[in-house]
Structure 1
Amino acid sequence: MREQKGQHPQSVEIDADDASVSEHVRMSRRLFLGSSAALVGAAGTGLGAGLLSPSAHAASHDGPSIEVKPGELDEYYGFWSGGHSGEVRILGLPSMRELMRIPVFNLDSATGWGITNESKEVLGHSEFLAGDSHHPHMSMTDGKYDSKYVFINDKANSRVARIRCDVMKTDKIITIPNVQAIHGLRVQKVPYTKYVFCNAEFRIPHPNDGTGLDDIEAYYTMFNAVDAETMEMAFQVIVDGNLDNTDADYTGKYAFSTCYNSENAVTLAGSIRNERDHVVVFNIERIEAAIKAGDYKTLPGADKVPVLDGRKGSKLTAYVPVPKSPHGMNTAPGGRYAVANGKLSPTITMLDLHKFDDLFAGKIEPRDVIAAEVELGLGPLHTAFDNRGYAYTTLFIDSQICKWDVEKAVRAYNGEEVDYIVQKLDVQYQPGHNHTTMGETRDADGKYLISLCKFSKDRFLPVGPLHPENDQLIDISGDEMKLVHDGPTYAEPHDCMIVHRSKVKTDKLWKRDDPFFATTVAQAKADGVVLEKDNKVIRDGNKVRVYMTSVAPNYGMDSFRVKQGDEVTIVITNLDNVEDVTHGFAMVNHGVQFEIGPQATASATFIAKEAGVHWYYCTWFCHALHMEMRGRMLVEKA
């Protein structure tokens, strides 16, 4: 047996008698359960490139230094989805230090997200303070990150959110109408992010009002476009099958999505009968022209949203047959190719994006856009790219990253005898998404790759039946991939994106005219209050608005008086003009606490249910006398 670089026979079980697969696949084949046992055994002997400790790798590492010393800054920002927590996390790379958590679809008592009036307005006063965030992606201009927004989906509640990168706060959330389970999400790359493309995965009846429950063939789902600036629906396109992941090209003309369940079934057995599923290609120019011509319909409850028919035979879409149940959809930085990852096939399918014009002109057939079907190993899920013509595909069942040469793969598909697989590196265990530094843009730099692994098993100290997942940082700058960091992460982050620090420009202080607290400012003006200087109580029947300032280590009021049963709104303006002097506010025994950044205004509303003395205090350390920053709410009996 020929040994691949980074592959270790001790952790590989070969099916040598299976003549139906290529040599590449046989070399990487391992039993789904047996591989885990083999890897555990290898760990005890110190075998396997992926089983060396991070410190051992660092000692033998001859690529760029991954050490970020105290006081030094990371080279990259990583935006991680928070998975089942519903948040987004910011990490520094290559240190892999967690820098910040951005609450999005979740309740967060540290910042008051889901508690403050400002955050409730963003959340649309939704009852769902939980989410399943999957795919964070930054807005672009000319195919390059512009650090304006990061968008993230909530699969559990069919929502899409926008995070402002200047303050790293969620400022808009939209619930996508007419569909269920928003999964794959990407942005339009060129000329700028006009649209956020997002797939609704599950097929439902329309209208979904209790009629037609058993008319399975009439179910359908839709491809969705959200206006990136207004965060309102731009259009929806009906498709055949269930949509999975999506991406866009570098011309602004096309988006494309992997699509499974071509059988239009609602059971597992029913949805895996066919040999092939497809990639659906969406012609954005034709969709926009159809909307302009009024060639669309609307659905009840969303009468302003254009809904177009993109099922098979439509001039708006093309269905490219690919192996069964394709998963990841990834566009190469050069703009020529996109990759649909096979999942149930040992292959990935390369699409030649330069042939899409001819496809929609009717000059070629759908399968003619396929540049190659590349055999890599078992369970290919997602592919990332560098700036040297290499691709990196996660092999879920093989627990490996496969590095391969894109152009050589095309040549091999066309009959040339050429070996396109460069290296296979063990990761622990069952990797899903992977991303290279700047790899989703024209600026791909080929320094690092992240493998987001679904299991950790024996990688870290045991913490009970629920294990963390495992993030592994791999240096890809040299001829060989090298694992350089191994770290736990919570609640299946699922996906991430990585941007160079030079692209991200954040504010150090809030601007007083920021729209984030515009509604609160408007109410203050109506009450005749100047937020920057006034400390006063406004009474409106049983509604009481308490305005106060904060300057470390004092609130503008050390006490205020209300009546039992009053609806109390606390409005605080942080007048500190110094970076990192954040204040907090907590009303003891009332479930109210929130953050007020420097120069920000924040508010929360609650009922003063019990008579008596109720203390409030600052929750974010701000001064040597931080403990003394407190006051009393005096509640008189009703």
Structure 2
Amino acid sequence: MLPPAPGNPARRNFMRGGALAGLAGASGIIGGMNIIPSAHAANEPSMPKDHVAPGQLDEYYGFWSGGQSGEMRILGMPSMRELMRIPVFNTDFAVGWGITNESRRVLGKNFPRGGDLHHPHMSQTHGHYDGRYIFVNDKAGTRVARIRCDVMRTDKITPIPNVQAIHGLRVQREPKTGYVFANAEFRIPSPNDGRDLDDPKKYQTMFTAVNGETMEVAWQVIVDGNLDNTECDYEGKYAVSTCYNSEGGVVLADMMQSERDWVVVFNLGRIEAAIKAGKFKTIGSSKVPVVDGRHGSELTMYIPVPKNPHGVNASPDGKYFTANGKLSPTVTVMAWSKVDDYFNGKLKTPREAVVAEPQLGLGPLHTAYDGRGFAYTTLFIDSQIAKWNIQDAIDAYGGKKVNYLRQKLDVAYQPGHNHTSLGETRDADGHWLVSLNKFAKDRFLPTGPLHPDLDQLIDISGDQMVLVADAPVYSEPHDAIILPSKMLINKVKRTWSRTDPFFAETVAQAKKHGITLEKDNKVVREGNQVFVYMTSSAPQYGLPNFKVKKGNEVTVTITNVDSIEDLTHGFCLTNYGINMEISPQETSSVTFIADKPGVYWYYCTFFCHALHLEMRGRMLVEA
């Protein structure tokens, strides 16, 4: 019997049924971990593997880039349920990100109201996720941001000087995330101050290291070509980036003249030594040390690879890294030990670091790993995932007759990034693979010319990949990470701490005014400035009203004194474009000009009580 046609709701059930029929132990046990712990699960052996019963928790967290929405998203896996959106580079009216004083301090003055968020990566210690931070990049705004995992809130955003369009991003694995590595993709004049506007020969870009603890830019390296994606080793010695446009062109035809581009390897120890010895320069007003890592530098190694390489990914055993061909049907496998040999003078050419170049299909973009010696590569043009064996590919490159390709799985459609559970750490567990597809086409109900993107959940716990579920997604996810919920769930705070540094500056301001935020409801006037302090406790605000004059600069500071988990309040001021969220024990503030006389109601936007609709007050603006 043929599967139902695309668009038929029975099609997904057919696919799930076929997937389950081909799996041993269809009860939902994967690697000894029961993903259907509900009481009635035993009576439902045909439940799909992505089923999480009502009231039960997912076994994995997924952290997804939000692309041009500028936000990061948290998913539960395997249910693929979206749990929360974390605003980073975007304005979010729901929680007041970009509106509150606390968020604006993180975003900085005159922040761009938007961003293109790619590549979330969690901080690591000795190659294991440590649950402290997630770092993300903004291609549109040339920034790097840090998200605290305990409160799932962005706490630092760092603009990167001297460059434009931060694309690839990775975290140092060993000994811990000291550096966050960031690639600037577009070549620009340096300094970019209006000179050399139409002289591409004087354009350049740089590789940047950011201190993951202070979020200050540590150093930069000038490179040849346009930087794309980046990766690092498991020993803390090297970082590596794919580069394209070796021609230095500014239009497509000029960028396609050469037969090869390269992967550039950065010797971290040598770079640090050069900077310590004063062998660097600064550019314009920036004080960041800049070293020259272009061809011929002892700081870098340029490995020739097929034209326009894209993703670069390190295997969890710490032995290899791959560059995905994009315009070649091949993936280039390189050995970290060979990189050592090159910098120690034991290799004649950088190309000798290549140990395999398996041919997989059309449009390889990214490779993920399962920790069992297998790799999974997205084939953008073929709309497939290719599963292949790393050692077999190395043996075939050495002349042995061996088949390294194990399976090709159709996905829908045009996959970009993919990610395996724990696949970028030493703990890769080989349970799940997610394919982040650029096109959905016929997979969902039509929604107008703009279609959703499509994430597909794939079971890789057996010998064969099995497609388990479709999940529509807004905007364009560029990467994701997956980790077991048990690694993080006990580190996540259920309520804020009253001494949290996130609102420390607001607390300090209140102290100057003699205010105890947990109990005082007062209005403080300083000339044209008015400071309004109030508490919120379901179902009322501490102040039923406050009075200001037209033209006053008003700062409203609210402290949620409720301590019950999930009892969040909001503060929305009608006709002023102001809303902010105040979680239990949190303090939030917002500053604005009272430029319209009259009566303006404020009210709670998070349903908090049976009398939620009555939780409101008035701002009285005198003419």
TMscore range, shorter length: over 0.9
Mapping of 1:209-248 within 5 angstroms? 209-248=193-232
Partner of 2:410 in structure 1?
426
Aligned position for 2:53: 69
CA 1:490/1:531 → structure 2, altered by over 3 Å: closer, same or farther? Answer: same
Residues 57 and 483, structure 1, Cα contact 8 Å, conserved in 2: no
Segment of structure 1 superposing worse, 622-631 or 101-110: 622-631
Structure 2: gaps spanning 5 or more residues? 31-48
Counterpart-to-counterpart distance in 1, 2:467 and 2:428: 20
**1:56 alignment partner in structure 2:** 17
SS in 2 for 1:160: strand
Separation of aligned partners in 2, 1:357 and 1:472: 38
1:384 to 365, 368, 371: 368
Structure 1 CA distance for aligned equivalents of residues 468 and 15 of structure 2? 6
Cα deviation for residue 417 of structure 1 reads 0.4
Find the aligned partners of 2:7 and 2:608 in 1 and give their Cα distance. Answer: 48
1:316 corresponds in structure 2 to 299
Q: Which amino acid aligns with 1:273?
A: Q
Partner of 1:435: 419
- Aligned-partner residue type, residue 555 of structure 2: T
Q: Following the alignment from structure 1 to structure 2, what is the Cα–Cα distance between the partners of residues 308 and 366?
A: 21
How many residues matched? 594
CA distance in 1, matches of 2:105, 2:155: 9
Aligned to 1:362: 345
**What is the one-letter code of the residue matched to 1:563?**
K
Secondary structure of the corresponding residue to residue 619 of structure 1: coil
Displacement of 1:609 in angstroms is 1.6
Aligned to 1:37: none
2 CA distance for matches of 1:412 and 1:139? 36
Q: Note the C-alpha offset of 1:92.
A: 0.5
Q: 1:45 to 1:523 in 2, by over 3 A?
A: closer
1:174 and 1:86 map into 2 onto residues whose CA distance is: 15
Instruction: Determine helix, strand or coil for the equivalent of 1:635.
Output: strand
The aligned counterpart of 1:156 is 140
The structure 2 residue matched to 1:337, chosen from 320, 325, 331, is 320
Task: Work out whether residues 46 and 52 of structure 1, in 8 Å CA contact, stay in contact via their aligned partners in 2.
Answer: no
The equivalent position to 1:571 in structure 2, one of 536, 553, 557, is 557
Give the Å deviation of 1:162: 0.4
| Bigger RCO (CA 8 Å, 6+ sep) | 1
Distance 2:606 2:535 in 1: 15
> Structure 1 residue 350 and structure 2 residue 333: aligned?
yes
Aligned with 1:522 (options 508, 524, 536) = 508
- Cα deviation 1:364-385 (Å, max 9, x = unaligned): 0201110101100000000000
Superposition deviation, residue 452 in structure 1: 0.4
Find the counterpart in structure 2 of residue 617 from structure 1: 603
Aligned equivalent of 2:617 = 631
Specify the code of the residue in structure 2 equivalent to 1:121.
R
Contact 1:57 1:484 in 2 (8 A): no
The 8 Å contact of residues 7 and 444 in structure 2, kept in 1 or not, is answered as: no
- Does the 8 A contact of 2:545 with 2:618 survive in 1? yes
Cα distance in 1 between the residues matched to 2:240 and 2:511: 48
| Residue matched to 1:478 | 462
- 1:52 Cα deviation from its structure 2 partner: 6.8
Determine the C-alpha separation between the residues in 2 that align with 1:216 and 1:456: 38
Amino acid corresponding to residue 183 of structure 1 in structure 2: H
> Which residue of the partner structure matches residue 539 of structure 1?
525
Find out whether 1:585 has 2:571 as its counterpart.
yes
Q: Which one-letter code corresponds to 1:593 in the other structure? A: N
Secondary structure of the corresponding residue to residue 134 of structure 1: strand
Q: Which residue of 2 aligns with 1:254?
A: 238
| SS in structure 2 at match of 1:368 | helix
Contact 1:78 1:91 in 2 (8 A): yes
Maintained 8 Å contact 1:54/1:486:
no
Q: What letter matches 1:137 in structure 2?
A: H
Structure 1 runs of 4+ with >6 Å offset: none
- Matched to 2:281, the amino acid is K
Indicate conservation of the 8 Å contact 2:16/2:467, yes or no: no
The equivalent of 1:123 in structure 2 is: 107
- Rounded to whole Å, the distance in 1 between the matches of 2:4 and 2:199 is 52
Name the SS for the 2:382 alignment partner. coil
Q: Which residue of 2 aligns with 1:280?
A: 264
For 1:113, the equivalent position in structure 2 comes to: 97
The answer to whether the 8 Å contact 1:238/1:308 transfers is: yes
**Offset of residue 554 of structure 1:** 1.3
Aligned partners of 1:86 and 1:130 also within 8 Å: yes
RMSD: 1.5
Change in Cα spacing, 1:548 to 1:53, as seen in structure 2 (3 Å) is farther
Match of 2:546?
A: 560
Contact 1:246 1:256 in 2 (8 A): yes
**Equivalent residue in structure 1 for 2:290, among 307, 316, 333:** 307
Superposition pairs of residues 284-299 of structure 1, within 5 angstroms: 284-299=268-283
Q: TM-score if structure 1 supplies the norm length?
A: 0.91
Cα distance change, pair 606–179 in 1 and its aligned pair in 2 (3 A): same
| 1:328 matches 2:314 | no
Q: What is the CA distance between 1:552 and its match in structure 2?
A: 1.0
3-state SS, counterpart of residue 442 of structure 2: coil
Matches within 5 A, 1:140-179: 140-179=124-163
Q: CA 1:583–1:58 in 2, change beyond 3 Å: closer, same or farther?
A: farther
Give how far 1:126 is off.
2.9
SS at match of 1:299: coil
Cα distance per residue 1:536-594 (max 9 Å; x no partner): 00101111000001111111111111111111110000111111111100011111100
Other structure's SS at 2:84 match = strand
Q: Deviations over 1:259-304 (max 9, x none)?
A: 00111111111111111100000001111111111110001121x2
CA shift for structure 1 position 127: 3.5
**Cα distance, 1:418 vs. partner?**
0.5
Query: How much does 1:215 deviate?
Result: 2.1
Between the aligned partners of 1:456 and 1:552, the Cα distance in structure 2 is 43
Q: CA deviation at 1:44?
A: 3.2
**Equivalent residue for 1:451?**
435
Report the alpha carbon displacement of residue 173 of structure 1 after superposing the two structures with TM. 0.3
Structure 1 residue 602, shift from structure 2 partner: 0.2
Distance 2:158 2:402 in 1: 49
Alignment of 1:13-32 (within 5 A): none
Query: Deviation of residue 125 (structure 1)?
Result: 2.3
* CA distances 1:383-432 after superposition (whole Å, capped 9, x unpaired): 00002110000000000000001100000010000001000000000000
Q: Which residue among 465, 470, 475 is the counterpart of 1:491? A: 475
SS of equivalent residue, structure 1 residue 220: strand
Shift of 1:502: 1.7
For 1:6, the equivalent position in structure 2 comes to: none
Distance 1:45 1:109, change over 3 A: closer
| CA shift for structure 1 position 59 | 4.8
SS in 2 for 1:570: strand
Partners of 2:478 and 2:341 lie apart in 1 by: 36
Task: Tell me which residue corresponds to 1:594.
Answer: 580
**Distance in 1 of aligned mates of 2:533 and 2:572:** 15
Contact 1:378 1:398 in 2 (8 A): yes
1:85, distance to aligned residue in structure 2 (A): 0.2
Q: Distance between the aligned counterparts of 1:242 and 1:581, measured in 2? A: 48
The one-letter amino acid of 1:218's match is K
Q: d(CA) in 2 for partners of 1:57 and 1:150? A: 37
* Conservation of the 8 A alpha-carbon contact between 2:6 and 2:442: no
Find the aligned partners of 2:597 and 2:157 in 1 and give their Cα distance. 38
Query: SS at 1:269's partner residue?
Result: helix
